[in-house]
Amino acid sequence: GALQDLNKIRSRAGLPAYIALTDEEIIEAILQERQHEFFCEFGHRFFDLKRLNLIDQLLTPTKSNWKSYCQQWPIPEQEILKNSNLTQNTGY
């Protein structure tokens, strides 16, 4: 069903449909469509890359100041003070 859903989105945009892709190609096509569809919408691309463990692989060559620890946000100091079991994420 993923290919049909993907082609529905492409049809809406006036783009040609994909024909018979492998599972890996379908996943790659979905990621590409999500990159276009959710451009500048609340970090969807960031979380897709993080969830699929692609963030370092794709951001290191394109962002000169990218550091691997940036995929985790810092824990607010107030939360660490409230709970002594918390430790700050590496790099912050």
Range of the domain at 41: 2-67
pLDDT of residue 40: 84
**Non-local CB neighbours of 60 within 8 Å, separated by 6+ positions:** 66
pLDDT of residue 14: 93
In a domain, 79, yes or no: no
pLDDT digits (tens, 9 = 90+) for 39-81: 888 888 889 999 999 999 999 999 999 999 999 999 999 999 9
In a domain, 46, yes or no: yes
Number of domains the chain is built from? 1
Angle between helices 23-37 and 44-51 (to 10 degrees): 150
What dihedral do alpha carbons 24, 34, 69, 86 form, nearest 10°?
-100
pLDDT of residue 60: 93
